Amino acid sequence: MKLLALDTSSAGCSAALWLDGRVTERFELAPRGHTRLLMPMVRELLAEAAVTPQDLDVLAFACGPGSFTGLRIATGAIQGLAWGLDLPVVPVSSLATVALCAMDTHQIPEGQNVAVAFDARMGEVYWGAFRSEAGLPVSLEAERVCPPSAVSLPATGDAGALWLGAGQGWSLQQQMPEAVVARMQTIDETLVPRAAQVARLAEAGWHRGEAVSAEQAQPVYIRDEVTWQKLPGRG
């Protein structure tokens, strides 16, 4: 399988190429450089692997939650490629991507739980809870957006188990419930979504039948319309 994955859902910009189990990636922290960097990264990856766009089998992208502007950039790029090449797309949760990055970085054991938090601005965080199973994160509850003071951990049957906290939203941990923070064995605020993890999750998603058409490859904002209307300049 030849799979191209993109991510611009946070401050990071990255592209990755999955070639039959081997992943190569271009990554750069560039909050305002996504449009400038993304397609050159794609061209470099393909050229380095001697792969043409027409050789690709499937596309993938981190569909959110995350930066509104960043999500639109990746969505536009992936839809353009999917339509032009007539390829299916596997959307991947940005929160799950960071959960997998945490699993890789900290080499957590099977069954370890990971709580991922992104700063959603406007006094809120994007929140997701995952468990490591067979080397991949499995969601334990629906992803959501809420004030840091409202985050909670799902009941998992192991009430005393320690968790790993991951994602830049953990910079707001002083606003989170003490009972949640106390369950964190380690907190890594440095982790952001990366296309290498998008590619790995997408490969698994492809085999589960999660691919969609270009038209259906849409960003996932989570934030509801009531909150969206609170943005400056919107009534």
Segments of the chain scoring below 70 in pLDDT: 159, 224-235
Check residue 224 and give its pLDDT.
60
Output b/e per residue, 146-171; b: 16+ Cβ within 10 A.
Answer: eebeebebeeeeeeeeebbbbbbbbe
Minimal CA–CA distance to 32: which of 79, 73, 60? 73
The three-class DSSP label of residue 145 is strand
- Cα(100)–Cα(104) distance, integer angstroms: 6
Minimal CA–CA distance to 113: which of 153, 147, 149? 153
Peptide bond into 65 cis (omega under 30): yes
Query: 138 and 161 in contact (C-beta within 8 Å)?
Result: no
Query: 193 and 101 in contact (C-beta within 8 Å)?
Result: yes
All domains of the chain, ordered by start, with CATH?
2-94+193-228 (3.30.420.40), 95-188 (3.30.420.40)
Q: For residue 103, what are the contacts with CB-CB under 8 A and spacing of at least 6?
A: 112, 114, 132, 135, 136, 137
pTM: 0.93
Output b/e per residue, 97-112; b: 16+ Cβ within 10 A.
Answer: bbbbbbbeebebeeeb
Check residue 230 and give its pLDDT.
39
Query: 31 and 86 in contact (C-beta within 8 Å)?
Result: no
Check residue 157 and give its pLDDT.
72
